[in-house]
Structure 1
Amino acid sequence: MSLQAYHQAAKRAESPRETEYRLFAQVTLALMDAAKADPRDLSARVDALDWNRRVWAALSEDCASPNNGLPKPLRASIISLAIWVGRHTSKVIRREEKVEPLIEINRMIMQGLVPAPNANANSNASAAA
């Protein structure tokens, strides 16, 4: 199987929540690598920081859409976080702040995207009852 065919099959098999988790895992790993990189290697840092900022901007844009199905308070919180990420990222690029808070925010989002253990078993048991 070619790599492209594998990626297409994986996309069809993933839920949107799993796709979001995978994206956050990838961008967070890039941020972690950037945090460990030589501080003089501005290119590696800026690429990871820009990618993270674009992910958050896309989330913000999606949450601002009237067609978004999330509850309004959650959408507002995500938009607020996206604004904070944008501002903090600018400070990190100017070397006024550290990368680690961005990593922590992403990790918290990833924790929220992980399904609860036995969530499928409980819903299947409820449906059978």
Structure 2
Amino acid sequence: MSLDAYRQARVFSETPRAVEYRLVSEITRDLVQARDTALRGGALMALLARNREMWLVFSAACEDDANGLPVALRAGIISLALWVDRHTSAVMRGHETVEPLIDVNRAVMAGLAGEGAAPSPSEARTAA
């Protein structure tokens, strides 16, 4: 089986939580690599923009009234997304580091991987 066929099969069999975990994991891995190599310039800006976009999508999913997550959890995710947006701007200006972004992403990964954890934003939407 070709690598592309394997990837396509994986996409069809993954749960929304697994897809979200994989996305956060990939972006976090890239942020760690950027930190470790002192990445600068356009490559860093593109990575930061990708992380920011992911958080904006999470926020939008939590703003949807059809989202089945508890209101307090949805509010917390929206609040984190706002913080990520502000902190990302500070990193882009050279006033902050990427380390706190890595920490927040790792905390989300732990929640997505946890046994008995709340459903992901995508799963909550489909359950409602």
TM tier, smaller: 0.7 to 0.9
Note the C-alpha offset of 1:47: 1.3
In the alignment, what sits opposite 1:27?
27
- Cα contact 1:37–1:44 (8 A) shared by 2: no
Superposition map of 1:1-129 within 5 A: 1-39=1-39, 41-116=40-115
The runs of 5 or more residues in structure 2 that have no matched partner are 117-128
Structure 1 consecutive aligned stretches of length 4 or more whose deviation exceeds 3 Å: none
User: 1:25-56 deviations in whole A, cap 9, x for unaligned?
Assistant: 000011111112345x3122111111100000
State, as a whole percentage, how many aligned pairs show the same letter. 47
Residue identity opposite 1:95 in structure 2: G
Note the C-alpha offset of 1:2: 2.3
Instruction: Describe the SS at the equivalent of 2:49.
Output: helix
RMSD between superposed Cα atoms in Å = 1.4
Note the C-alpha offset of 1:3: 2.4
* Aligned mates of 2:10, 2:114 — CA distance in 1: 18
Residue identity opposite 2:42 in structure 1: S
Q: Which has the higher contact order (CA 8 A, sep 6+)?
A: 2
* Aligned mates of 1:111, 1:100 — CA distance in 2: 17
The structure having more radius of gyration, on CA atoms, is 1
- Cα contact 1:59–1:79 (8 A) shared by 2: yes
Residue identity opposite 1:24 in structure 2: V
Tell me the matched-pair count: 116
Residue identity opposite 1:91 in structure 2: A
In the alignment, what sits opposite 1:120?
none
Note the C-alpha offset of 1:93: 0.5
